[in-house]
Amino acid sequence: MNDMLEGRVVIVTGAGRGLGRAHALAFAAAGAKVVVNDFDPGKDGRPAGESPAEQVVDAIRAAGGEAVVNGDDIADWDGAERLVNTALDGFGRLDVLVNNGGFLRDRMLATMSEEEWDAVIRVHLKGHFAPMRHASTYWRAQAKAGNTVDARVINTSSGAGLLGSIGQGNYAAAKAGIAALTIQAAAEFARYGITVNAIAPAARTRMTVGAGGAMAETMAAPEEGFDAMAPENVSPLVVWLGSAASAHVTGRVFEVEGGKVSLADGWRHGTVIDKGARWDPQELGPVVDELIGGAVPPTPVYGA
């Protein structure tokens, strides 16, 4: 264990398996006290039996760390509030919120059901907003009371949200929304001492292994030596973003895979052609062609 997060209290959602489990263990190894949240939905959202969160907590405690379990649904408003209160009641404070939980309901848009759309948007997008809203209420109150706040939110977007992914329109829309929500929250929360960043990770988890989405086709099996797709490779950046050292970084989205870290460059204003008056529709074909011709081609959608 090291002391990079010594004294800090961290919530990790969806921490029973995969990336969330790796994050929880890494935060504990860095000295943090961890709330291990796991509602334990299966890949299709159905309850899958006993939550594995207790196993993560047991592993943390066996290594000399401190952790507690929370089993609330992160996309339920009251459940998200109880999640935050688990940290406050158990450890007396909250410093870092890692929004990680989610699941897939993959299907092509032309055949996707309303339930498949709603379920994924709910767990990912509302499941990020609701915990962030209740955590920020606590931090805002602390700041208004004159207490120093040095808080962190780390959200989980995806390459699907940044670029799109064939067969995952619901997931891509939710993850794109999370990227935009990250930028929005960073701007609004800065005055309270809260930074908000996001990661777009690539790793082998139960969501990606066997998933129908095109991104899953790029997930390499482990080879001898360095396993580039191990979830544990993503966690060091998440731990650093949760530390005091990252106070100058906010409103950013990082792609991380294996030993690679990059900064995703999002939407920005492009070249402008200004007529100085209202356009006639018949004039705009050449204008659009000129704008597209002078722009950098977009990165292809996964699976396209």
d(CA 157, CA 155): 6
Say yes or no to pLDDT of 220 above 80. Answer: no
Residue 186 CA to residue 145 CA, distance in Å, equals: 21
Please write down the HEC assignment for all residues of 29-59: HCCCEEEEECCCECCCCCECCCCCHHHHHHH
Q: Are strands 253-257 and 194-202 parallel, antiparallel or unpaired?
A: parallel
Residue 220 or 271, more confident = 271
Q: Is 175 a catalytic residue?
A: yes
Mean pLDDT (whole number) for 223-251: 93
Residue 226: pLDDT band with limits 50, 70, 90: confident
pLDDT confidence of residue 267? 87
Q: How many CB atoms lie within 10 A of CB 247?
A: 12
Phi, psi of 12 (to 5 degrees): -125, 120
> Regarding beta strands 9-12 and 96-98, do their DSSP bridges make them parallel or antiparallel, or are they unpaired?
parallel
Is pLDDT above 60 for 20?
yes
Active-site option among 171, 243, 246, 302 = 171
Residue 205: band (very low, low, confident or very high) from pLDDT cuts 50, 70, 90:
confident
Q: How far apart are CA 154 and CA 27, in angstroms?
A: 13
Q: What is the pLDDT of residue 303?
A: 92
| Residue 22 in this model has a pLDDT that exceeds 70 | yes
pLDDT of 44 reads 47
For the cut 90, the answer to whether the pLDDT of residue 2 exceeds it is no
User: Which of 127, 129, 134, 132 lies closest to 14 in space, CA to CA?
Assistant: 127
Query: What does the pLDDT look like over 254-278, one tens digit per residue?
Result: 999 999 999 998 888 999 999 999 9
User: Of 136, 158, 235, 246, which is the active-site residue?
Assistant: 158
Q: Which residue has the tokens 């920005």?
A: 268
Residue 224 pLDDT > 80: no
CA distances from 101 to 59, 147, 277 (A): 20, 30, 49
- Please state, in angstroms and rounded to a whole number, the distance separating the CA atoms of residues 219 and 229: 7
The rounded distance, in Å, linking the Cα atoms of 84 and 13 is: 11
pLDDT tens digits, one per residue of 24-33:
999 999 999 9
Instruction: Catalogue all structural domains in the chain, each as residue range(s) with its CATH number.
Output: 9-263 (3.40.50.720)
Q: Is the predicted pLDDT of residue 50 greater than 80, yes or no?
A: no
pLDDT at 266: 84
Whether 158 sits among the annotated catalytic residues: the reply is: yes
Whether 97 shows a pLDDT value over 50: the answer reads yes
Give the strands of the sheet with 253-257, arranged side by side: 66-70, 33-37, 9-12, 96-98, 151-156, 194-202, 253-257, 260-263
Percent of the chain with pLDDT over 90: 85
Mean pLDDT over each residue of the chain, to the nearest integer: 92
pLDDT 10s digits, 276-304 = 999 999 999 999 999 999 999 989 999 98
Q: How sure is the predictor about 114, in pLDDT bands with cuts at 50, 70 and 90?
A: very high
219-223, Cβ contacts within 8 angstroms, sequence gap of 24 or more: none
pLDDT at 204: 87
Q: What is the structure's pLDDT at 43?
A: 45
What pLDDT score does 17 carry?
Answer: 94
Helix spans in 122-270 (H) = 127-144, 159-163, 169-189, 235-241
Please state, in angstroms and rounded to a whole number, the distance separating the CA atoms of residues 142 and 92.
Answer: 13
- Tell me the per-residue pLDDT of 149-193, one tens digit each, with 9 for 90 and over: 999 999 999 999 999 999 999 999 999 999 999 999 999 999 999
HSE of 250, CA atoms in CB hemisphere, 13 A: 20
More confident residue, 207 or 69: 69
Do the Cβ atoms of 31 and 6 come closer than 8 Å?
A: yes
| pTM listed for this prediction | 0.91
**Is residue 51's pLDDT more than 90?**
no
Rounded to whole angstroms, how far apart are CA atoms 240 and 9?
14
| Given 157, 175, 243, 246, the catalytic residue | 175
